[in-house]
Structure 1
Amino acid sequence: MNDLENRLNTKLLNRTTRSMSPTEAGQRLYERIAPMFGGIQEELATLADFGDKVRGKLRINAPENPAFYLIYSKIRSFLAQFPEVDVEILINNSWSDIVAQGFDFGVRPLGDVAQDMVAVPISGERAMCVVAAPEYLRRHGQPEIPSELTSHRCIVPAFNAFNRLDDWEFFQNGQIHRVRVPASLTFNSTTLIKTSALDGLGLTWLPYYAVADELASGALLEIFAHVRAIYPPMDLYYPPNRHKTQAAEALIEWLKIEKVV
């Protein structure tokens, strides 16, 4: 970096003993050349297509629930079929610009995907369930209608520090009804949400696919199944103008909802 600054006769970085930050000139240079590095990386990735084997690296940005329940469950068999593909899955419950951050794919509900993206469904319609442990219901009673949730202890999912899911929705008489529940416990981790529900610490509201095993075993019980809110499928999405490697094409086919694994 010193050699570059000397050649350009321009300071590119502000340096202290604790940190570095770009100068105005350094920031401008970065903004100009960063897309070039992205193009180089993409072109290098395409070289993998000239070999006989499917190989390369794929980066996926996804919220926690679909990452675990919709992607990881299929990634295991995908890697068994294509062992020379490296997969990086980064959990992010907030919206991300996958192009700017260098991801090959993002995962979000169809309504949250920009119209200029290609979207591929990787789930069916998603039912949301209010669930609780039998122990909790024995101690606190079972609410008979959704509005009674306001007098119960509720475990609330959070997307981030500023956005929590405490407006629970129910489909009744052809309309969506919302109930603002008390946040007795709040987590931005489905693992902690489900664990605390299993421990009898409150009721929670999660996608059916996230609690299907616990409902089948009786470890959790569903309340208000007849008024479940149903949401659009989760989609794998990507920019249409980016070259898709053999590895990317293989992953799209592997994750599509039509595929039976």
Structure 2
Amino acid sequence: MNKNYNDLLAFVTVAREGSFTKAASLLGVSQSALSHTVRGLEQRLDVRLLNRTTRSVSPTEAGERLMSSVAPKLFEIDRELELINEFKLRPAGTIRITAAEHAVNTILWPKVRSLLLEYPDINVEISVNYGLVDIVSERFDAGIRLGESLDQDMIAIPISPKMRMAVVATPEYWNRHGKPETPHELVNHNCINIRLPTFGGIYAWEFEKDAKVLNVNVKGQVIMTSSQGRLETSLSGLGITYVPEDLALQHIESGELERVLDDWCPYFDGYYLYYANRQLSSPAFKLLVDALRYHRN
């Protein structure tokens, strides 16, 4: 029985990743051993499950059917095995979370660090990802997103106060190029851009004032996904950046950066931890939720 389970897990992982190399790395086995395991499964079933070329691996029609029926069950088995940890005296198990870099650095890690120090049997895997990850299909226990981009079928817990953005550059940059008085004037400046991870387009900077909403397509020499990276680029004097206010505040207070268009940057919903309903049955996960939960005054 255990051998059959492992063989099915091997096949599903290869089919999902589209690569024996990637699947072997995830499973912690050699590529040759993984290939042998999958071939053994095909021989016992007497049907080819994978189309193999020198560049890619994809499931056959039979493989697609097996994957669609077996993969969800394997996931449920893994989850149930994790939940057995609730019978231990101390909370234990691995929690996989996906979040953007800013949320990880400012919200998630400070709280998780304290949790791990107190509960040494809890393990946490954090994946920094800027896209809208489907946590169920990607087998994450939870994700972190801004309130405006949450999936309605998920449970969402607030983990930060409201946020807003800041438009900043160095005093030297403003002295050379002048300060914009309206968001429209940003098109005449060297702005540090953001590429949207989900659809690949360039993010239009969003502004609002007196119920008037403006989305400005700015241009510049640099495109960078990382909030911290954009801030560092702006600190170097190269251009204007648009980052979460909390990242820029200490540099504004020190005089390294100067802010513009402050009245065009309203507050918006902050970060939420989101997860499927069944996740909360894990004692370790309950502790994580309690540690991250933001209590508004």
Equivalents in 1 of 2:167, 2:90: separation in Å?
46
Letter in 2 for 1:162: G
Are 1:176 and 1:229, in contact at CA under 8 Å, matched by a contact in 2?
A: no
Match of 2:215 among 178, 186, 211: 178
Equivalent residue number for residue 218 of structure 1: 255
Equivalent residue number for residue 50 of structure 2: 13
Following TM superposition, by how much is the alpha carbon of 1:241 offset from its aligned partner in structure 2, in angstroms?
A: 3.3
Equivalent residue number for residue 236 of structure 1: 273
Per-residue CA deviations over 1:203-232 (Å, capped at 9, x if unaligned) read 111111222332233222211222213221
Partner-residue secondary structure (3-state), 1:77: helix
1:143 and 2:183 are equivalent in the alignment: no
Are 2:193 and 2:224, in contact at CA under 8 Å, matched by a contact in 1?
A: yes
Following TM superposition, by how much is the alpha carbon of 1:114 offset from its aligned partner in structure 2, in angstroms?
A: 1.7
Residues 43, 220 of structure 1: alpha-carbon distance in 2 compared, 3 angstrom cutoff: same
From the two aligned structures, give the one with the greater strand fraction: 1
TM-score w.r.t. the length of structure 1 is: 0.91
Residues 179, 64 of structure 1: alpha-carbon distance in 2 compared, 3 angstrom cutoff: same
Are 1:170 and 1:178, in contact at CA under 8 Å, matched by a contact in 2?
A: yes
Partner-residue secondary structure (3-state), 2:136: coil
Equivalents in 2 of 1:214, 1:74: separation in Å?
24
> Which structure ranks higher in relative contact order (CA pairs < 8 Å, sequence separation ≥ 6)?
1
Equivalent residue number for residue 256 of structure 1: 293
Are 1:116 and 1:240, in contact at CA under 8 Å, matched by a contact in 2?
A: no
Following TM superposition, by how much is the alpha carbon of 1:201 offset from its aligned partner in structure 2, in angstroms?
A: 0.6
1:168 and 2:205 are equivalent in the alignment: yes
Equivalents in 2 of 1:139, 1:222: separation in Å?
15
Residues 212, 55 of structure 1: alpha-carbon distance in 2 compared, 3 angstrom cutoff: farther
Equivalents in 2 of 1:233, 1:243: separation in Å?
22
Question: Which shows bigger deviation, 186-195 or 237-246?
Answer: 237-246
TM-score w.r.t. the length of structure 2 is: 0.81
Equivalents in 1 of 2:265, 2:155: separation in Å?
29
Partner-residue secondary structure (3-state), 2:196: strand
Partner-residue secondary structure (3-state), 2:259: strand
Match of 2:89 among 29, 34, 52: 52
* Alignment root-mean-square deviation, CA: 1.9
Partner-residue secondary structure (3-state), 2:222: strand
Are 1:123 and 1:233, in contact at CA under 8 Å, matched by a contact in 2?
A: yes
Equivalent residue number for residue 207 of structure 1: 244
Per-residue CA deviations over 1:68-102 (Å, capped at 9, x if unaligned) read 22212322222222222111111221111101110
Equivalents in 1 of 2:66, 2:216: separation in Å?
51
Equivalents in 1 of 2:258, 2:173: separation in Å?
10
Equivalents in 1 of 2:73, 2:206: separation in Å?
46
Are 2:189 and 2:220, in contact at CA under 8 Å, matched by a contact in 1?
A: no
Question: Which shows bigger deviation, 30-39 or 221-230?
Answer: 221-230
Equivalents in 2 of 1:142, 1:243: separation in Å?
49
Following TM superposition, by how much is the alpha carbon of 1:16 offset from its aligned partner in structure 2, in angstroms?
A: 4.1
Are 1:42 and 1:243, in contact at CA under 8 Å, matched by a contact in 2?
A: no
Question: Which stretches in structure 2 are left out of the alignment for 5+ residues?
Answer: 1-37
Are 1:108 and 1:235, in contact at CA under 8 Å, matched by a contact in 2?
A: yes
Partner-residue secondary structure (3-state), 1:252: helix
Question: Which stretches in structure 1 are left out of the alignment for 5+ residues?
Answer: none
Following TM superposition, by how much is the alpha carbon of 1:53 offset from its aligned partner in structure 2, in angstroms?
A: 1.0
Are 1:78 and 1:251, in contact at CA under 8 Å, matched by a contact in 2?
A: yes
